[in-house]
Amino acid sequence: MNRHVIEFEGITVRKGNNLLLDNISLSVSSTEFVGIIGPNGAGKTTLLNVIAGFEQFSGTLSLFGHQESRKRDRQTRLRIGYVPQLFQIDPAFPILASEAVVTGSIGRLGLFRSPGREEMERAMRLMEMMRMAHLADRPLGQLSGGERQKVSLARAILQQPDILLMDEPTANLDIAVQKEVLDLICEIHTRQDLTLLLVTHDVTMLPAAMRRAVLLDNGKKIYDGDIDTAMSSETLSRLFQYPLETFDRNGKRFVSYD
């Protein structure tokens, strides 16, 4: 059954005179993979924060078929994983990469159990799968931006959420690792009943499984539908206010610009 797991009705976020989200309506069905695409400052992170429960808004938000109240209940919070845009940490903060990953399992264990050997083994298996086992015993604060982003992603995956929100999860990764991480995201999407929302402005690196795009510009939803139509030269040039040309070669999408 494909019920809506996320439903926005007239969601507006305002800060002072700034309208960060302007009357957005949006429905996402279970197991969909949606790209949230738009230029800097469009409101993409704000939209994820509304879903994650970190943003005040007006309008109606329903998650998993229930209308959300002001205070997010713990059960709903645990069903939503979030990979933030920037994962910053004080270099002196005394935690190892593997310990940071294993915190993803804390929610599932309940209040009175802390992660033990079983959870650490699960974390290690996942880190091996993500080719980051060599980072396990490194202090988190000493990792590079890209390595930290992988830790953040592993932590969110270990949480086994029903909705996974990712804010430019591959922005700091080199091309090979970007491809690897996107493949992994697609694999998890097929294996679990996971609903994925991925924010990006890199239109050259869109996973094949992402079939729907929501285009945001200046707090407004300007397009919602099939990704191939969204990626037309006209639509993208208008969105980024720069002449871009998209073309397909051997089923792959390319973007060219002057």
**Position among 45, 149, 160, 246 found at the interface with Mg ion (CB under 5 A):** 45
**How far apart (Å, rounded) are the C-alpha atoms in residues 248 and 219?**
30
Q: Does 172 bind Mg ion (CB under 5 A)?
A: no
**Residue 253 one-letter amino acid:** R
Burial class of residue 233 (count of CB atoms within 10 Å of its CB; 0-12, 13-18, 19+): middle
Q: Which two tokens stand for residue 113?
A: 């159990």
Residues 73-102, mask of contacts with Mg ion (x by CB under 5 A): ------------x-----------------
Residue 66: strand pairing partners: 63
Burial class of residue 220 (count of CB atoms within 10 Å of its CB; 0-12, 13-18, 19+): middle
Q: Does 56 bind ligand ATP (CB under 6 A)?
A: no
Nearest one of 238, 243, 247 to 257, comparing CA atoms:
243
Would you call 154 helix, strand, or coil by DSSP? helix
Q: Does 148 bind ligand ATP (CB under 6 A)?
A: no
Would you call 180 helix, strand, or coil by DSSP? helix
60 binds, among ligand ATP, Mg ion, none (CB under 5 to 8 A by kind): none
Residues 177-206, mask of contacts with ligand ATP (x by CB under 6 A): ------------------------x-----
Q: Does 45 bind ligand ATP (CB under 6 A)?
A: yes
Q: Does 43 bind ligand ATP (CB under 6 A)?
A: yes
Q: What is the C-alpha end-to-end distance of the chain, expressed in Å?
A: 46
What are the residues whose beta carbons fall under 8 Å from the beta carbon of 246, sequence distance 6 or more?
A: 203, 231, 232, 233, 236, 253, 254, 255, 256
Residue 40 or 241 having the CB closest to ligand ATP: 40
Q: Does 38 bind ligand ATP (CB under 6 A)?
A: yes
Q: Does 135 bind ligand ATP (CB under 6 A)?
A: no
Q: Which two tokens stand for residue 243?
A: 């002449």
CB of 123 to ligand ATP, least distance (A): 29
Residues 15-34, mask of contacts with ligand ATP (x by CB under 6 A): xx-x-x--------------
141 binds, among ligand ATP, Mg ion, none (CB under 5 to 8 A by kind): none
CB of 249 to Mg ion, least distance (A): 30
Binding residues for ligand ATP (CB under 6 A): 15-16, 18, 20, 38, 40-46, 85, 201
Binding residues for Mg ion (CB under 5 A): 45, 85
